[in-house]
Each structure stands twice: as C-alpha cells, then as structure tokens.
A = this chain, B = another copy of it.
Amino acid sequence: MGAQARPTGEWADVTPDAARRLLTAAVQSFAERGYHATTTRDIAGRAGMSPAALYIHYRTKEELLYRISSVGHRLALDVLRRAHDTPGTPAERLAEAVRRFVRWHAEHHTTARVVQYELGALGEQHHAEILALRRETDAVVRAIIEDGVAAGDFDVPDVRGTTLAVLSLCVDVARWFTADGKRTPAEVGDLYADLVLRMVGCRA
C-alpha cells in the first residue's frame, strides 16, 4: 500500500483531475503546517499549478478545507452505514462497523487528522453541515447499540456516553497510527472490534 496510491482512492470521485490534485495537495499542506499557516499559493505550488489555476476550482482556502472535511465525513459515514445494514446479530454488526471505521481512520489517517483538528477553521454554514454529518455518524452507531440492548445481547447503562466513547476510540486511531508501526489497519480493526464488544457488555 504505497503512500501515493491513497489519495487516488480517497478522492476518486472528485473531478476534474486538477481539482483532485489540489485537494490532495491541500490535505498534505494542512497536515504538515496547519490550516492557518498554509496559503493557497502553497497548495497550488504543491499541485504544480499557479494560484490563478486554483481559483478556477476553489474560491477560498476554506472551501478546500470544507471539501476535504465533507468528503472525509461522508466516506467514514458510508463505511458505518454499510455495517449497520449488514445482516447479522447486533454484535456482528457492531464488530463489523468498528472494524471498518477503524481501518478507514488508520488508512486515511492524514485526512482524518485534518478533518478532526481543523474543524474550528470552517465557516459557520460549513461547520453546521459537518456537525450534521457527525450527528448522523453518532446515530448509526447508537442505533446498533440500541438494537443490541433491545435484543438483550448488550448491557449498556449509558447508551449515549458509550456511543461517544466508541466513536472517540476509533477516531483517535488517526492520531497515533503510523504506516511503519507494529500493527496493520486490519489488525487494529480486529483488536478494537473485540474491545468495543467488551465495552457494550456483549454476552456472546
């Protein structure tokens, strides 16, 4: 899994090619120096373009951050929704959701860090949109946990707090994960799926 290959997969739906290259360059620049220390000139230069060429695709630096955040949140949410809709017991669905969500955050850790750490730099309208996506993410995980409680498979005294903790645990993988570490994204996913089933008091 080369570092070069990742952005293509992550931003595959972004067209044209120049817009995609600019997003990739923006993620790398924001990750290295932070949003506020990065200029649109830095991003254009990194993508091998002129600043003027950047403005054809994105009006402002904030729009680049918003696109990164929006795509990142939607991809991670899709991963959870697919696990939610999978047939199986609540325990199987929760384990699958955690496995996939953790893998996503490990494999896309640079994007995930930018998305999580630069939330405060979004404009008001964009911030509200992203918060709505975060509430949906929370709702998908909470629904699986509630299914498990209703089925008598899970023992969870505080469903909201446990949902928050499960998502926090998975998201924070992006902070500490490095590609040259001891564990692969899939191995972290398996470990975390087991830990989360313990957190919900799974009787299986």
Contacts and interface: CB of A to CB of B under 8 A. Distances in A.
A6 interface: no
Interface of A: 33-37, 113, 116-117, 157-158, 161-162, 164-165, 168-169, 171-173, 175-176, 183, 188, 191-192, 194-195, 198-199, 201
A183 to B, nearest CB: 7
Given A168-B169, A172-B169, A175-B172, A191 B34 contact: no
Contacts of A34: 33-37
When A and B form their complex, which 6 residue pairs have the shortest distance between CB atoms, in order from nearest? Answer: A34-B34, A36-B37, A37-B37, A172-B172, A33-B36, A168-B172
Contacts of A113: 117
Contact of A191 (B158, B175, B201): B158
A183 B33 CA distance: 33
Contact of A195 (B165, B173, B176, B191): B165
A191 B161 contact: yes
A185 to B, nearest CB: 13
A166 to B, nearest CB: 9
